């Protein structure tokens, strides 16, 4: 079975729910993508950039200390070691190159944590494209380092003051810009969400994560892993890791969403707690109220703070190919510290959700072989962590003092 089908559906999920103005542009994008996918010049240039600019392949690192601690065999796919510090660069280089091949001079993008924004600004600087990044005002405060990076790279960062002033609103603004400037502008969407062909296109550019991991684990362990583990906001690093293992039915997929303040409070767990809806271009699970109004999400990790999720994940959930769980802010902060202290690797807060789930997973799976997608590095989050208070209202320093 080919996923998605020609109308952009993964089973009953996906599609193209967009204003008429964008219809022709999405058709054009789909056609261009199918063309360059087989274009030798494009592939040569893309692979050259992945290797020599982004620094691929990334290593598959065996985490000996953490493995000993949790009695599992844990490997990390080190996307945090890529240029700009997260998996986002894989997709940004691919799409920016596509934009260039399509003759577009201007690129726009939305960003939450700023990692996608930085990756787009980077690719635009490299390829000589004008770059505008939409970012929620709330996130601009939370991730100021990334804002400075984007500006340094020559991008204009446009603050979004509507709605919850986070990722979903940045996405709305990017769509509004695109509807207005559609003829000369390329919308470089950062996750496997939005209307067809984006969920397919972003997945394809990110599936290098899973392809390399599969090859590497077979070489290092002479077998396939028992589990693949990745955090899910929109879901691009997770799909990138999962998709190349889709046919390996014995490999179990676990996507970790953000439970934020808790699943009965504000959170971002669209797959675990959301319901079927049509949001930002596709049919998928979404956090919404009884009347179909989209609800505000929350996560300590700005990159997961999104009420929707990629349609391919909704499909994996509905056919039970993947399991989705949720991890709250507190646990994520624990995961952040756990990896930093045991392995000397500071993960992004987004990634920390996947790290945090290793503990509960290890309880019933001693000896299992697990690959975790270490989707990004955590330098950007040190500010959030240092200000973070636990639910008991004690600062981190106070807790440490009592140890």
Partner 1 sequence: MRLEEKFEQLKLEGRKAFIAYVPYGFPDIKLTKEICLRLQDSGVDIIELGIPFSDPLADGPIIQRATSAALQKGANIEKCFISLSQMLKSLKIPVVLMTYYNPIYRYGLKKFFLKMKQLGVTAVTVVDLPLEESKEYIELARNFDIETVFFATPTTSKQRLVKIVRQSRGFLYYISVTGITGPRNLQYSPLIKYIKQIKSISKIPVCVGFGIHSRAQIKKICSFSDGVIVGSSIVRFIEDNYQKSNFLDRLQSYVKSLLLNNV
What is the contact surface with partner 1 in residues (CB under 8 A)?
Answer: 7, 15-25, 162-163, 168, 172, 175-176, 179-183, 277-281, 286, 288, 290-295
Minimum distance between the CB of residue 376 and partner 1, rounded to whole angstroms? 27
Distance of CA 250 to the CA centre of its chain: 24
CA 256 to chain centre: 11
110 in active site:
yes
User: Which is nearer to partner 1, 306 or 336 (by Cβ)?
Assistant: 306
Active-site entry in 16, 32, 77, 88? 88
Please tell me the distance from the alpha carbon of residue 322 to that of residue 350, in angstroms, as a whole number: 19
Q: Return the SS3 of 13.
A: strand
First CA to last CA distance, the chain: 55
Residue found by looking up tokens 């603004």 in the block: 173
Catalytic residue among 16, 32, 375, 380: 375
Rounded to a whole number of angstroms, the minimum distance from the CB of residue 23 to partner 1 is 5
What is the smallest separation between the CB atom of 171 and partner 1, expressed in angstroms? 8
Q: In this complex, which beta carbon is closest to partner 1, that of residue 7 or of residue 247?
A: 7
- Minimum CB–partner distance for residue 35 and partner 1 (Å): 18
Is 375 an annotated catalytic residue?
yes
Closer to partner 1 by Cβ: residue 14 or 328 = 14
> Which of 294, 345 has the CB closer to partner 1?
294
**Selected catalytic residue, list 32, 77, 92, 110:** 110
Exposed, middle or buried, 205 (CB in 10 Å: 0-12/13-18/19+)? buried
Q: Are 251 and 368 in contact (CB under 8 A)?
A: no
Task: Give the Cα separation of 178 and 184 in Å (integer).
Answer: 9
For the chain, the C-alpha Rg in angstroms (whole number) is 20
Cis peptide bond N-terminal to 197, omega within 30? yes
Nearer to partner 1, 181 or 340 (CB): 181
Helices (H), 3-105: 20-37, 40-52, 64-70, 88-101
Q: How far is the CB of 173 from partner 1 (least distance, A)?
A: 9
Between CA 210 and CA 217 the distance in angstroms is: 10
Active site residues per annotation: 88, 110, 375
């Amino acid at each position: 079975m080919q996923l998605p089908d020609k109308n952009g559906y993964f089973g009953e999920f996906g599609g193209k729910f967009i204003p008429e103005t964008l219809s022709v542009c999405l058709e054009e994008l789909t056609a261009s993508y199918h063309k360059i996918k087989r274009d030798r010049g494009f592939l040569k240039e893309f692979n050259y950039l992945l290797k020599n600019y982004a620094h691929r392949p990334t290593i598959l690192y065996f985490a000996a200390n953490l493995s000993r601690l949790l009695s599992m065999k844990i490997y990390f796919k080190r996307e945090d070691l890529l240029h700009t510090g997260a998996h986002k660069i894989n997709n940004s280089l691919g799409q920016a190159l596509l934009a260039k091949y399509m003759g577009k001079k201007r690129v726009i993008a939305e960003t939450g944590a700023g990692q996608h924004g930085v990756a787009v600004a980077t690719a635009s600087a490299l390829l000589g494209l004008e770059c505008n990044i939409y970012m929620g005002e709330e996130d601009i405060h939370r991730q100021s380092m990334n804002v400075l990076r984007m500006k340094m790279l020559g991008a204009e960062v446009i603050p979004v003051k509507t709605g919850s002033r986070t990722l979903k609103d940045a996405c709305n603004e990017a769509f509004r810009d695109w509807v207005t400037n559609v003829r000369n502008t390329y919308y470089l969407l950062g996750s496997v969400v939005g209307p067809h062909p984006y969920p397919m296109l972003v997945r394809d550019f990110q599936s290098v994560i899973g392809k390399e991991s599969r090859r590497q684990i077979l070489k290092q362990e002479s077998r396939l892993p028992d589990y693949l583990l990745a955090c899910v906001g929109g879901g691009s690093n997770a799909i990138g890791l999962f998709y190349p293992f889709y046919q390996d039915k014995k490999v179990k997929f676990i996507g970790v969403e953000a439970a934020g303040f808790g699943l009965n409070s504000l959170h971002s767990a669209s797959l675990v707690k959301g319901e079927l809806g049509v949001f930002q271009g596709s049919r998928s699970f979404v956090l919404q109220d009884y009347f179909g109004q989209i609800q505000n999400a929350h996560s300590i990790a700005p990159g997961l703070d999104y009420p929707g999720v990629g349609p391919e994940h909704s499909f994996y959930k509905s056919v039970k190919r993947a399991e989705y769980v949720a991890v709250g802010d507190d646990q994520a902060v624990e995961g952040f510290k756990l990896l930093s202290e045991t392995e000397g690797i500071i993960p992004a807060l987004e990634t920390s959700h996947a790290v945090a789930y290793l503990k509960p997973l290890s309880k019933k799976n001693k000896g299992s072989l697990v690959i975790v997608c270490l989707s990004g590095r955590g330098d950007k989050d040190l500010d959030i962590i240092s200000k973070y208070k636990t639910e008991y209202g004690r600062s981190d320093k106070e807790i440490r003092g009592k140890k």
